[in-house]
Each structure stands twice: as C-alpha cells, then as structure tokens.
Amino acid sequence: MKTYTMDKKVFPEFIKLVKSKGKLFGPIKQKNKYSFEEINDSSDLDFDYQRTIIGIKKFLTPPKYKTMIFNKEGTEDVFDGDETNIVIGVHPCDIHSVKILDRLFLANIKDPYYAKKRDNLVIIGHSCLPDDNCLCHSTGTDMVEDGFDLFLTDLGDYYLVWVGSDKGLSLTIAADNLLSEETTEESIRDYVAWQQKRSSMFKKGMPSFKYMADIMNLNYDSDVWEQFGEKCLSCGTCSLVCPTCNCFNVEDIIAMNTEEGFRERQLDSCTLPYYSVVAGDHDFRPNRTARLKLYYTHKLKDYIGRWGQPGCVGCGRCVTYCPVNINVVTVSDALFGEVCETQEVCE
Amino acid sequence: MTEENKIREDHSYRDFPVEIIGLKDLTSDTRYFKVRCLNEDMKNKFNYKPGQFVIFSIPGVGEATFSISSPPTRRDFVEFGMRKVGTFTEAFFKLKEGDVFNMRGPYGNGFEMESLKGRDIIIVAGGLGAVPLRSVLLYAEDRREEFNQVFFLNGARSPDDMLFREDFMAMAARGIVDTRLSVDKDPTGEWPYDVGFVTTLIPQLAEKIKAENTTALICGPPGMYRFVIQELLKLNVPKDQILMTLERRMKCGQGHCGHCVVGGRYTCLDGPIFTYYDVQHEKELI
C-alpha cells in the first residue's frame, strides 16, 4: 500500500482539491450528535467524534429512494447516484460495514441501484480514538486494510495518508504538491506510539464474541430471548443506526390525481411488526421475541455461516441508541452467562 | 453500449411485458391465469424449473410473488393460479384476457428434475399447494419415462375447494400418474375418491414404494407439513429426500431485501425448495 505524509497546514487546500472532484460530505456536529453532511470547507469538519447517528450506509442504501416512476403511458427505472459523493472522516468500523454491504449487494446477484451509488462513492477514512461504547477491538474491525480510497491517520501535526484504490491514487496524483512521499523514522515511531495509545483506550469488550455463533445455536431456546423480547419496544432504532442493517421494503406511492406515482425502496427493520407477514395475514414472527431473535441470530450467527464474519462491526451505535439497552453487548453477555456454570468462568 | 446503458437495459430487476391469454375461476376465490411473453427475445430466454417463482408488478399497486404452475416442458405460455387474499391479488383479479402486465424472474432454486430420474416420486399437495406442484406433476406426466413410479396425492377441504379438479380427475382416469384425490369433507356424498385428510393417502403407498429410491415433494398450508412429514418418515423416506417448498414475504427475489430469511437461509436464493433434513431443527419455518 502506498503511503504519503501530509502537513496539517495544507489540509484546507487538500479539502478544496477534494471538493472539486465531487460533492463532499464529512462529520459535522449537530447539537450533541454527529452526522455526515455536505461541507463547504475544512472548517466545517469535526474529526473529534466517535460515531455519526447513521453510518455511511446512508449514501449507499438511503432510508428512502425511488426505483421507478410511472404514469398512464408507462414506467421508467430510476437510478440515482449520477454525481460523485466523497465522504471524508469515515472510521474503520464504517469502512468494514461497507465491505459487508458490498458482499450482500454485489457479490452474488448485483443490485443495480446499490452498484450505481457504490461506483460513485469515494471513501476517505480517518483514524479515531474509541469511547466507552466502541467494540471494534472485539469484532476485529478496528483496523482496515482495504475498502477505502484514501485513509488519513492523524499523528499530531501531520497525517499519514494511505492509498487504498485507483480512485485514491488519482486523488494523490492531483494533490501531488500537498503530499510528501517520504516516510521518516520519526513518523514510523509516531504511528506505533499512536497505535499503542489507541489500543489501550478500549474499555468495553465482548470477550465472548468469537464464540457467539455457537453460543447462539446452543441458546436458541433460552429464556434470555423472552426477557429481551419483553423489554423491546419494536421501534426499529437498532436497524436504523446499524451500519450493516440493509433490509428494505418496496412500496408504490400514487399521486392524488391517481395517474402518476413512483416505486420506493424504504429501509425496513425485522424488529418491526408485519416484517414477516405474508398474504392472507399469516405472520411467521408474530411477537417481539421472535423478531429480536431474528435480528441478533442473523447478525451474529447466520452472517458467519454465510460470509465467514459477523454482521457487526463494533461501532457501538446500538449500545448508544437503543432506548432500552438491548444491544450486541447485553445480548451477547446474557447468552454467554446462560452457558457459563459460574460467573467466574464468564469473566 | 456504455456502462450506464448496460445497467438500464440489463439488470436484475428488469421486468418484461406478458399478456393474459386465458383465465378461469378454479374455486370461489382462486383463479387460473395463462400468460405469454410479448417480447420475442424474452420468449426464448424465459426458461424455468418446476418450483421456481416470478414477481408480478402492477405500477401503483406494487409487486407480489407467484409460483409458476405450468411445466417447462410446455412452451409458449406460462400458467399461474392464485387466491384473492390481499391488495395485490384484489387488483390483479380485475385484469381480463388481453390485458398486459409486467413480470420478472424466474427466481429460486426450483426442483432439480434431473436428480429425480429413475426414482419413485410422491407429490403431496394440499389446497393452494397444488399450484406450484402442478408444474412438477405435468412435467412428470410429459416425461413419464424418466421416472420410476409417480404418485400424486392431492387434498382439498371439499370437492368445491379442489383446484384444477376436472384436470386432476382426468389425470386419474388417464392413469399415467397414479393420482389419488381426497377431500376433508364431502357434503354431497358424491365424491368418487377418498374422503379424509391428504395424510391418510400416504400409508396406501407403503407396499408400493422402495423407500430408499423415493423422493417426496410437498406443498400445502402451514398446518399440513408436520403431519405429512411424519407419515413419510413412517414409510422410511429419507429425510434428505423430502422436499418442501416454502412461502415467505419477499420484496426482491434476489437475496437483498432480507424479508425471507429463515435460519440464515434466504428463501428466495437457497429456497423455496428445502429438504426436510436441512430445516428439521428450524422453529419458525411454518
């Protein structure tokens, strides 16, 4: 992987250059939360953040988008995403989430709507320091080797710039005068020191995470599910904020004149009622327990069976946002506790 | 052709127009539809396996999934059977002969008919399950020489509720496929075949089949599967030779929308045909 260094003094200029290549988005503070929003210049950016409310999936599978328009004459497919979207400040966990979405939408049957948006997305990653809710250390997604176009590691006065793709390479060629190809002894030392500091900062972990697939299998009928089901509000927040939750519904929406309309994809959640209802009103998952169990077994067990890796990237969004404290940590811990003979074994 | 045009012309959601060339009521709430592709190119390209399904589209109403009821051995048309149960079928039942709508597919794994060559086949259908299994049934009748014994066991609530009743009675008379029809209740007292649940027909085959050379194909209402499977296991039909076709809510048909997941399997990609062996421990199957 090619690396450069970039002095922070020239960062505003770098942003100006990047912005000339497409629509630029980055983390912006809104009240007490962060969100990827369109930015004008480098002063809008706030890299001192842990997680945005919604991850980078909003550029790839937006909460709502049109797939077709129709009127009395006929139908026409709609493929959004003609312009290049560049997102800067993406953390390793979110880059991993894109890799997971890519597998789902592109590896088998290629979804044309996703493919279009993905082709026109440029990802410029940014290093981060964890807070108490970050779990990427346990899920093995705290580092990235690919999945980004450029990645910036903040080493104080300067950035280490990692090139991850051809798109990234052409950006560095354009930014030739802002980057230095020299990697000094000092920058290697800085990088190692930064890595050690970061590793020591992870507090919350899921030691049980690596055997979660087996534990879920063994605990399929555990009372733990009923307890969580009882608490769950079926609000769907977990799916909205989870960077790998992509389930969608499709709905046709007609104008008042009943002569035109559009077909729309809408982000769905398996925790919502009616998720598994078929024609004739038979509901395969009529209660919260069944739906919550689907959410967690699919994410933490079935993904491993299908792709060799869980559908959790440890971003901590469910930990932060579930209003009743149901998240990958509490669910994993409760299930793990069930199979432990004594609490000491668990710890 | 530019990359952009390629996406527009040839993508996995590309649907194509079909014309309704025949329809008739099967029962009070189910109807048979026969369609043909309008697009010449698609007419040749549209190949399918029994057990596969397609997705119909009516702009303004939405999309819905339907099993193909005709066999791939009969060309130039595709048949369906559907019950009026929701908003989509309500709208669809308003269509008349000559009307055109769009369809995409086929989707799903379907039955591997090649792997059934030389075997004894038991087709067990209940109610609406006769629609998808009719594809296998007619395939087996058209290519009878490829299989050893072929049995068709079909159950309905009453004679009036039996889909394709006249067709199946004619089939029983032809005798190419050993056809056994049962109704749960016979208010008229004139039903010439068995009365009782479809499960009661299975023990009749005990002396006839060679269990290790038998494959059973099941489709019916959720409540039917457990009892049919128990009867088949009593005949020692191997668990991995009991093939069941399942129904799920689907929005894409290609493993993206997530609705049809059962125990980590996508009903649209890995199914809708599952072997009993593979799903015997799944609890939210039916």
Same domain, A10 and A140: yes
- Is there a domain that residue A130 lies in? yes
**Domain assignment present for A133:** yes
User: Stretch A129-152: mean pLDDT, rounded?
Assistant: 92
Q: Is residue A97 part of a domain?
A: yes
Average pLDDT, chain A: 91
HEC readout, chain A: CCEEEEEHHHHHHHHHHHHCCCEEEEEEEECCEEEEEECCCHHHCCCCCCCECCCCHHHHCCCEEEEEEEECCCEEECCCCCCCEEEEEECHHHHHHHHHHHHHHHHCCCCHHHHHHHHCEEEEEECCCCCCCCCHHHHCCCCCCCCCCEEEEECCCEEEEEECCHHHHHHHHHCHHHCECCCCHHHHHHHHHHHHHHHHCCCCCCHHHHHHHHHHHHCCCCHHHHHHHHHCCCCCHHHHHCCCCCCEEEEEEECCCCCEEEEEEEECCCCCCCCCECCCCCECCCCHHHHHHHHHHHHHHHHHHHHCCCCCCCCCHHHHHCCCCCCHHHHHHHHHHHHCCCHHHHC
Diameter of chain A by CA atoms? 70
Average pLDDT over residues B95-100: 96
| Residue A280 and residue A166 share a domain | no
Is the residue at A65 inside a domain?
A: no
Question: Last residue of a domain, which of A147, A177, A200?
Answer: A200
B199 and B231 in contact (C-beta within 8 Å)?
yes
Residue A218, in any domain of the structure: yes
pLDDT recorded at residue A340: 60
Measured in angstroms, the CA of A163 and the nearest CA of chain B are apart by 26
pLDDT at A48: 92
Share of chain B above pLDDT 70, in %: 96
Q: How many residues make up chain B in this entry?
A: 286
Instruction: Domains for chain B: give ranges and CATH numbers.
Output: 3-107 (2.40.30.10), 113-245 (3.40.50.80)
* Domain co-membership, A225 together with A138: no
Contact with chain B for residue A222, Cβ under 8 A: no
pLDDT for the residue A342: 43
Q: What pLDDT is recorded for position B255? A: 92
Rounded (10°) CA dihedral A78, A79, A83, A89: 120
Look at residue A218 in the predicted model and tell me its pLDDT: 86
Residue A128 falls within a domain, yes or no? Answer: yes
- The reply to whether residue A111 touches residue B251, judged by beta carbons under 8 angstroms, is no
* Lowest model confidence (mean pLDDT) among A177-181, B132-136, B180-184: A177-181
Residue of A254, A275, A276, A285 for testing the chain B interface, max B β-carbons within 10 Å = A276
A216 and A253, same domain (yes or no)? yes
Q: Which of A271, A274, A275 is nearest to A289 (CA)?
A: A271
Contacting residues of B for A252, CB less than 8 Å apart: 59-62
Are A221 and A305 in the same domain? yes
Phi, psi dihedral angles at B78 (to 5 degrees): -135, 140
pLDDT for res A215: 86
Q: Is the pLDDT of residue A183 over 90?
A: no
Q: Nearest residue on chain B to A114, judged by CA atoms?
A: B256
Roughly how many angstroms between the first and final C-alpha of chain A, as a whole number? 39
**Gap between the Cα atoms of A22 and A121, Å rounded:** 9
Interface of B with A in 63-92 (CB under 8 A): 63-64, 83, 85-86, 88-89
- Residue B44 pLDDT: 84
Among A171, A200, A229, identify where a domain stops. Answer: A200
pLDDT tens across A212-266, in order? 888 888 888 888 999 999 999 999 999 999 999 999 999 999 999 989 999 999 9
Q: What percent of chain B has pLDDT over 90?
A: 82
* Residue ranges making up the domain that contains A307: 207-346
Q: Are A144 and A44 contained in the same domain? A: yes
* Res B1 pLDDT > 50: no
Structure tokens given for B3: 């990359």
Give residue B47's pLDDT.
Answer: 92
- Domain end, chosen from A177, A200, A223, is at A200
- B2-60 pLDDT per residue, tens: 455 455 557 889 899 999 999 999 999 999 999 999 988 888 889 999 999 999 999 99
- For B135-260, list the strands marked E by DSSP: 150-156, 178-183, 194-195, 214-219, 242-245
d(CA B259, CA A266): 13
Segment A140-150 mean pLDDT: 94
Contact A263 B59 (CB under 8 A): yes
Parallel, antiparallel or unpaired: strands B100-107 and B273-275: unpaired
- Read off the pLDDT band of B270 (50, 70, 90): very high
Same domain, A329 and A237: yes
Q: What's the domain count of chain A?
A: 2
What average pLDDT does this structure show over B114-142?
96
A90 with A113, same domain: the answer is yes
Strands across the sheet with A260-267, in order?
A: A75-77, A64-71, A260-267, A248-254
Distance CA A281, CA B89 (A): 13
Task: State the pTM of this model.
Answer: 0.91
Looking at the structure, do residues A169 and A117 belong to the same domain, yes or no? yes
Smallest CA–CA distance, residue B235 to chain A, in Å, is 30
Would residue A166 count as lying in a domain?
A: yes
Mean pLDDT confidence for B195-201: 95
Quick one: pLDDT at residue B88? 94
Residue A188 buriedness (CB in 10 A; 0-12 / 13-18 / 19+): exposed
**Where is B189: in which H helix or E strand?**
none
Find out whether B268 and B254 touch, Cβ atoms under 8 Å: yes
Clarify whether residues A219 and A340 are in a common domain. yes
> pLDDT tens across B66-95, in order?
999 999 999 899 999 999 998 999 999 999
Q: Tell me whether residue A290 is in a domain.
A: yes
**Residue predicted with more confidence, A171 or A214:** A171
- Residues A158 and A29 placed together within one structural domain of the fold: yes
In a 13 Å sphere around the CA of A142, the CA atoms on its Cβ side amount to 19
pLDDT digits (tens, 9 = 90+) for A23-76: 999 999 998 899 999 999 899 999 999 999 999 999 999 999 999 999 999 899
pLDDT at position B6 is: 52
Cα distance from A254 to chain B (closest Cα, Å)? 6
State the smallest CA–CA distance between residue B221 and chain A in angstroms. 11
Q: What is the mean pLDDT of chain B?
A: 92
Local confidence band at A206 (pLDDT 50, 70, 90 cut-offs): confident
- Identify the three-state secondary structure at position B42: helix
Kindly state whether A79 is in contact with chain B, defined as any CB-CB distance less than 8 angstroms.
yes
A71 token code pair: 């009127």
pLDDT digits (tens, 9 = 90+) for A255-305: 999 899 999 999 999 999 988 888 878 888 889 999 999 999 999 888 888
Do residues A152 and A301 both lie within one domain? no
| Residues B154-189: tens digit of each pLDDT | 999 999 999 999 999 999 999 999 999 999 999 988
Return d(Cα B272, Cα B206) in angstroms, integer: 28
pLDDT digits (tens, 9 = 90+) for A64-120: 999 999 999 989 999 988 899 999 999 999 999 999 999 999 998 999 999 999 999
A115 at interface of B, judged by CB pairs closer than 8 A: yes
